[in-house]
């Protein structure tokens, strides 16, 4: 893998050099914005080459950005400029860009003892095909190129304005963002109409999410060319869940299909109308909307994420997959409803772990089993589930999500009674702290794990002080099942602390 990555250092470096070579020539007879744009592209390629070479922590983002840019530039030149002597080189460049997305687009899992089943392979019963999943991105890219070329030819035949400038990149980006917004908005609106609550909404670099009863916002500049979106909704109740979830999932591609069809209608009626100059943006929007709609009705898997079509297939069938979707919904619902970890369907949790839930999902299943048993006061079972989660982490490069680090410290110290293991997890948590978007929440949750750690190390006075702060924080949490479970854990810890104080007295 290192050899492959080093090969991309050369590819990105050559791309940067090519951009810098052509930039001065664009200054003759063309606006300076052309040269500035190409120079900016060169900076992206050069930064990607440097971060890959140095194995920087931002390696993945810059490499993905450079790979996407390589694809877009190559396809743009092939579509609009149509050079006679460089067509083969440009197609090769586009292929290398797709190869870069394949290499850097997913986190590799290198096992040190035994490697868990990778999350990006076909799982029995998930409705996907390995070959369809592999070519889904290529189908989308080819559809975008062919759609754009078709509308350009149509516009030329109908004598619509064909002025081209670097603003077409901004127009294309605006069209993508609008498509994502309407697609994810379809999911979110349908969820609200079906007694669900929106907890996360993502459109490219714009991210909104709910935490501790408050909405938070973050702008991630490097995700501006990710062309990804998401809308996480959770049911307020579990009545008729499958039927409601099926409609909510289908609402996204249906919204894209309807808005894409409206855009096609607007383009076809653009000649001799006031919106004729905007035909290109409408064409971009129509093409992308229809591709997103039809592609999302097809069951496929991209990395560890499933298309809407795959989710619809899984929800329609009886069995473990349908139960798993219901379980995942219940897990997320604990943040905004009265559902608690003790209410999880533990049978589905244990059946899913290692079968349909693999990699990071399998790790989450073990952690959810731990939370279920802890919330029910079954400490021995909680410890067993936790040890399974730790074993999975130790056997691979898998890492728990940020919010679970403090829980690992608490569990090792309080449930496992292992001060040394708790201290190791504490140190790992401190090393990752700066990377988390939920830093404020984790600083508060850390009080609970710190109290358990100090108690396991026999530092009773410090543990009592930490517990007082943790208890005060927990009382301010919103009314929700996850918050109630957190308060329950603090109460268990408080009882253990009082017992130790009593024995000392």
Q: What is the largest CA-CA distance in the chain?
A: 93
How large is the angle between the packed helices 32-54 and 2-22, nearest 10 degrees? 160
Q: Which of 102-111, 149-158, 318-327 has the lowest mean pLDDT?
A: 102-111
What whole-number distance in Å separates Cα of residue 42 and Cα of residue 53?
16
Round the average pLDDT of the chain to a whole number and report it.
82
What whole-number distance in Å separates Cα of residue 283 and Cα of residue 278?
9
Is residue 187 very low, low, confident or very high in pLDDT (cuts 50, 70, 90)?
very high
CA 74-78-84 angle, to 5 degrees, is: 120
| Cα torsion angle, 33, 34, 35, 38, sign | positive
Q: Examine the pLDDT at 185 and tell me if it is beyond 90.
A: yes
Q: Which residues contact residue 162 at a Cβ distance below 8 angstroms, ignoring those fewer than 6 apart?
A: 152, 155, 156
Between the CA of residue 407 and those of 342, 389, 447, what are the distances in Å?
Answer: 16, 12, 11
Strand order in the sheet with 206-211: 214-219, 206-211, 196-203, 229-235
Terminal Cα distance for the chain, rounded: 60
Chain segment 244-298, per-residue pLDDT in tens: 999 999 999 999 999 999 999 999 998 888 888 888 889 989 999 999 999 999 9
Between the CA of residue 91 and those of 25, 143, 282, what are the distances in Å?
Answer: 23, 15, 27
Chain segment 335-363, per-residue pLDDT in tens: 889 999 999 999 999 999 989 998 888 99
Secondary structure of 382-442 in the HEC alphabet? HHHHHHHHHHHHHCCCCCCCHHHHHHHHHHHHHHCCCHHHHHHHHHHHHHHHHHCCCHHHH
Chain segment 371-416, per-residue pLDDT in tens: 999 999 898 899 899 889 989 988 877 777 767 888 888 888 988 8
CA 55-56-61 angle, to 5 degrees, is: 105
Q: Examine the pLDDT at 116 and tell me if it is beyond 50.
A: no
**How many CA atoms lie within 13 Å of 347's alpha carbon, on the beta-carbon side?**
3
Predicted pLDDT of residue 485: 92
Total length of the chain: 505
286 compared with 133, residue with greater pLDDT: 286
Q: Examine the pLDDT at 110 and tell me if it is beyond 90.
A: no
Burial class of residue 395 in the structure, from the number of CB atoms within 10 Å of its CB (0-12 exposed, 13-18 middle, 19+ buried)? middle
Secondary-structure breakdown of the chain: helix, strand, coil percentages, each rounded to the nearest 5: 70, 5, 25
Q: Which residues contact residue 42 at a Cβ distance below 8 angstroms, ignoring those fewer than 6 apart?
A: 15, 16, 17, 19, 20, 23
Q: Which of 145-149, 219-223, 392-396 is modeled with the greatest confidence?
A: 392-396
Q: Which of 69-73, 154-158, 413-417 has the lowest mean pLDDT?
A: 69-73
* Residue labelled with tokens 């076809």: 268
Is residue 505 very low, low, confident or very high in pLDDT (cuts 50, 70, 90)?
very low
Is residue 462 very low, low, confident or very high in pLDDT (cuts 50, 70, 90)?
very high
Q: Which of 149-163, 179-193, 306-320, 467-481 has the lowest mean pLDDT?
A: 149-163
Burial class of residue 7 in the structure, from the number of CB atoms within 10 Å of its CB (0-12 exposed, 13-18 middle, 19+ buried)? middle
> What DSSP character marks residue 474?
H
- In the three-class reduction of DSSP (H, G, I as helix; E, B as strand; rest coil), residue 4 is classed as helix
Tell me what the mean pLDDT of segment 364-374 comes to. 94
Q: Examine the pLDDT at 222 and tell me if it is beyond 80.
A: no
Q: Which residues contact residue 118 at a Cβ distance below 8 angstroms, ignoring those fewer than 6 apart?
A: 109, 358, 359
| Cα torsion angle, 192, 198, 203, 206, sign | positive
C-alpha 135 chain-centroid distance:
20
Q: Examine the pLDDT at 140 and tell me if it is beyond 90.
A: no
pTM of this structure = 0.74
* Residue labelled with tokens 């078709």: 150
What whole-number distance in Å separates Cα of residue 67 and Cα of residue 8?
9
Contact 304, 145 (CB under 8 A): no
What whole-number distance in Å separates Cα of residue 100 and Cα of residue 127?
27
């Amino acid at each position: 893998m290192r050899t492959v990555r080093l090969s991309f250092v050369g590819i990105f470096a050559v791309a940067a050099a090519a951009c810098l070579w052509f930039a001065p020539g664009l200054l003759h007879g063309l606006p300076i914005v052309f040269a500035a744009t190409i120079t900016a592209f060169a900076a992206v390629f050069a930064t990607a080459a440097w971060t890959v070479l140095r194995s920087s922590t931002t390696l993945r983002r810059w490499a993905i950005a450079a790979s996407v840019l390589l694809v877009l530039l190559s396809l743009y030149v092939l579509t609009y400029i149509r050079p006679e002597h460089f067509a083969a080189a440009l197609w090769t460049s586009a292929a290398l860009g797709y190869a870069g997305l394949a290499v850097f687009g997913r986190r590799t899992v290198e096992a040190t003892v035994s490697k868990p089943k990778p999350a990006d392979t076909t799982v029995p019963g998930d409705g996907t095909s390995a070959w369809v999943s592999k070519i889904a991105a290529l189908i989308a890219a080819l559809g975008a190129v062919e759609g754009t070329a078709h509308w350009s030819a149509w516009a030329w035949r109908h004598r619509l304005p064909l002025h081209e400038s670097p603003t077409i990149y901004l127009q294309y980006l605006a069209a993508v963002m609008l498509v994502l917004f309407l697609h994810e908005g379809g999911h979110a609106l349908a969820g609200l109409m079906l007694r669900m609550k929106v907890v996360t909404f993502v459109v490219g670099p714009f991210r909104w999410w709910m935490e501790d009863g408050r909405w938070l916002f973050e702008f991630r500049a490097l995700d501006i060319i990710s062309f990804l979106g998401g809308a996480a909704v959770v049911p307020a109740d579990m009545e008729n869940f499958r039927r409601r979830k099926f409609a909510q999932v289908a609402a996204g591609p249906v919204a894209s299909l309807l808005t894409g069809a409206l855009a096609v209608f607007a383009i076809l009626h653009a000649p001799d109308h006031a919106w004729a100059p905007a035909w290109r943006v409408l064409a971009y929007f129509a093409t992308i909307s229809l591709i997103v709609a039809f592609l999302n009705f097809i069951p496929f898997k991209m990395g560890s994420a499933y298309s809407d079509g795959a989710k619809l297939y899984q929800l329609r069938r009886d069995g473990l997959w349908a139960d798993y979707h219901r379980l995942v919904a219940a897990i997320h619902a604990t943040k905004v409803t009265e559902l608690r970890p003790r209410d999880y369907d533990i049978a589905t949790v244990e059946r899913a772990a290692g079968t349909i839930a693999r990699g990071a999902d399998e790790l989450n299943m073990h952690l959810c089993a731990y939370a279920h048993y802890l919330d029910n006061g079954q400490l021995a079972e909680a410890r067993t589930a936790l040890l399974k989660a730790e074993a999975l982490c130790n056997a691979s490069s898998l890492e728990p999500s940020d919010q679970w680090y403090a829980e690992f410290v608490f569990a090792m110290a309080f449930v496992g009674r292992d001060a040394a293991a708790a201290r190791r997890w504490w140190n790992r948590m401190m090393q990752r702290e700066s990377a988390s978007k939920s830093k404020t929440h984790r600083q508060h949750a850390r009080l609970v794990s710190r109290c358990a750690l100090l108690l396991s190390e026999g530092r009773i006075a410090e543990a009592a002080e930490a517990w007082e702060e943790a208890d005060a924080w927990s009382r301010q949490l919103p009314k929700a099942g996850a918050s109630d479970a957190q308060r329950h854990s603090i109460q268990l810890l408080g009882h253990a602390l009082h017992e130790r104080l009593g024995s000392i007295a």
